[in-house]
């Protein structure tokens, strides 16, 4: 099973990271992105295997 982290800067997709997700009682995965001092509005969407949106996080770099 796979999931993805999709990073947006000012509503433009910057990076999509595909990560494995293992089945079981306890599992975790993570992704990171160096923001390269890009100021403005950011958004990260975490999606399941079928592309279903699981979580969306918005933040601003000043």
Query: Could you write out the three-class secondary structure of the chain?
Result: CEEEEEEEECCEEEEEEEEECCCCCCCCCCCCCCCCCCCEEEEEEEECCCCCEEEEEEEEEC
pTM of the shown model: 0.82
Rounded to 5 degrees, φ, ψ at 23 are -85, 145
Tens of pLDDT, residue by residue over 13-29, are 999 999 887 777 787 77
Count of the separate structural domains present in the chain: 1
The domain in which residue 24 lies consists of 2-61
Rounded to 5 degrees, φ, ψ at 15 are -155, 140
Tens of pLDDT, residue by residue over 44-60, are 999 988 899 999 999 99
């Amino acid at each position: 099973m796979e999931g993805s982290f999709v990073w947006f800067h000012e509503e433009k997709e910057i990076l999509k990271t595909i990560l494995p997700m293992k089945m079981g009682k306890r599992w975790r995965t993570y992704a990171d992105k160096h923001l390269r001092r890009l100021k403005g509005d950011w958004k990260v969407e975490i999606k399941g295997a079928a592309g279903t949106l699981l979580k969306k996080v918005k933040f601003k770099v000043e």
